[in-house]
Amino acid sequence: MTAAIRRPSLLTLVSITGTGALSMNVFLPSLPGMARHFDVPYATMQLSVSGFLAVSAVLQLLCGPISDRFGRRPVILTAFAIFVLATLGTLMAPSAGWFLFFRMVQAVITVGFVLSRAVVRDIYPAERAASMIGLVTMAMSLVPMIAPTIGGVLDEGFGWRASFITMGIAGMAVWILCWFDLTETARGGGVPLRQQVATYPILVRSQRFWGYALAATLSAGGFYAFLGGAPFVGQNVLHLTAAQTGYWFAAPSIGYALGNFISVRWSTRLGMNRMILIGALTCTIPLTAALLIDLLGGRAPLIFFGSVAFMGMGNGILLPNANAGMMSVRPELAGTASGLGGSMSVAGGAGLAALAGAFLHDGAGAAPLLAIMAAVSAGSIVAILWVMARARRVLDAG
């Protein structure tokens, strides 16, 4: 029998995950000010969000197989070391181009989020792994609630660099924590990248996989578009300070936590397809209403961020069920489906975040961003109805 693996502490695993969430959200209230500092359009500086997501999408596909080959510990330690060095680069960048380059390198922090789940799967049996992953990834919903608020206060008190100094300190602290507490947990024999890629055609020929993946990609894409455009709307349209914008950023995270609670309570009873539809409708209807109000001239933080809170709740209902749906298409390919679907969601989010930044300008109001979020949320309704229609046809044929 294989010797027992010494388990890293829950604090270590949560810290690994939370640092990734922090690096995504803490600096968002500073984006308009950073654009002024580097004397570039907002759309250019917004690439620090969309480009980060694009690199993350690629890394999500690669880091699992790489850690199967070389081990979790060395890959996580290397990723955090690179993240700290890249953070120093962002602080010293003489131009927007160099800043964006180092910001893209910072995306290596995504490795921590992916591999923290892999570590849990290494050290816990299947029946406990799901609940432990839930505890570890709780940071992904808790950190976004407070990180933008902290970033807004830091920006007003010390300037935009303070958020990146905070990232660097957090990255260094977690590297030290991992050095002493994160033992090697991989037992070897993971699925090589070549073998994973070879299974992709099996999934992409499945209408059900595409339906679930598109529902997740489009619904999550609305949130990523929000990340790309909300700092501009908050400060240039609603005339909020950086700190006030940071406070309002908690709205979608609170909504997401509530949606997760609803999903846990009702998914088994209603079924994942119905829950996905409910989540998509919860996203789309308030966003559409907020868009109409904006077009009629009604602009207020409660209207904009309130509709986004409902979008967060809808995502909290939809995404767990859509992810379960993706992995249920071919259970023997659950890992591949999760990786491919996750990469699609982040890549789609990168494109939508860039699109939001490109359409936002002085005088446009919040309408372009609300229109993008409402449109992609409506697309998730179409995607799940497509799945439900096919399931009905199969049932009728049987």
Please give the residue that has the higher pLDDT: either 20 or 360. Answer: 20
**Per-residue pLDDT band at 77 (split at 50, 70, 90):** very high
Cβ neighbours of residue 158 under 8 Å, at least 6 residues apart?
none
As a whole number of angstroms, the distance between CA 269 and CA 332 comes to 25
Mean of pLDDT values over 193-212: 76
What is the domain-level CATH number for residue 233? 1.20.1250.20
Residue-level length of the chain: 398
Residue 74 reports pLDDT greater than 50: yes
Regarding whether 158 and 252 lie in a shared domain, the answer is no
Regarding whether 228 and 177 lie in a shared domain, the answer is no
Task: Output the pLDDT for position 203.
Answer: 74
Residue 363 reports pLDDT greater than 80: no
The percent of residues above 90 in pLDDT, for the chain, comes to 37
2 lies in some domain: no
Question: 191 phi and psi, to 5 degrees?
Answer: -75, 120
* CA proximity to 56, closest of 109, 4, 124, 7: 109
* CA proximity to 259, closest of 218, 333, 310, 213: 310
Of 190, 224, 258, which marks where a domain is finished? 190
pTM over 0.85: no
Mean of pLDDT values over 188-214: 74
1 lies in some domain: no
Mean of pLDDT values over 344-372: 83
3 lies in some domain: no
Task: Output the pLDDT for position 102.
Answer: 97
Please give the residue that has the higher pLDDT: either 89 or 189. Answer: 89
Regarding whether 386 and 309 lie in a shared domain, the answer is yes
Output the six-digit token pair for 227: 């990340």
Task: Output the pLDDT for position 249.
Answer: 86
Of 172, 190, 208, which marks where a domain is finished? 190
Residue 384 reports pLDDT greater than 90: yes
pLDDT digits (tens, 9 = 90+) for 119-147: 776 776 654 554 566 566 665 667 777 88
Mean of pLDDT values over 193-199: 67
275 lies in some domain: yes
Regarding whether 209 and 176 lie in a shared domain, the answer is no
Q: Determine the structural domain holding residue 148 and report its residue range.
A: 8-190
**Per-residue pLDDT band at 35 (split at 50, 70, 90):** very high
DSSP letters spanning 287-303: HHHHHHHHHTT---HHH
3-state secondary structure of 398: coil
301 lies in some domain: yes
The average confidence (pLDDT) of the chain is: 84
Other beta carbons less than 10 A from residue 239's beta carbon: 10
Query: What does each C-alpha distance from 162 to 73, 87, 193, 269, 344 come to in angstroms?
Result: 29, 11, 39, 47, 32
pLDDT digits (tens, 9 = 90+) for 224-248: 899 888 898 998 899 998 889 888 9
Mean of pLDDT values over 19-30: 88
Regarding whether 239 and 126 lie in a shared domain, the answer is no
Task: Output the pLDDT for position 140.
Answer: 61
Task: Output the pLDDT for position 17.
Answer: 84
As a whole number of angstroms, the distance between CA 335 and CA 326 comes to 10
Regarding whether 302 and 235 lie in a shared domain, the answer is yes
Task: Output the pLDDT for position 381.
Answer: 96
- How does 169-200 read in b/e, with b if 16+ C-beta sit within 10 Å? ebbeebbebbeeebeebbeeebbeeeebeebe
Cβ atoms of residues 168 and 88 within 8 Å: yes
Helix (H) or strand (E) holding 179: helix 161-181
**Number of folded domains that form the chain:** 2
Task: Output the pLDDT for position 136.
Answer: 65
**Per-residue pLDDT band at 257 (split at 50, 70, 90):** confident
As a whole number of angstroms, the distance between CA 43 and CA 362 comes to 12
Task: Output the pLDDT for position 1.
Answer: 38
289 lies in some domain: yes
Based on DSSP, count helices (H) and strands (E) in the chain, helices before strands: 18, 0
Task: Output the pLDDT for position 25.
Answer: 85
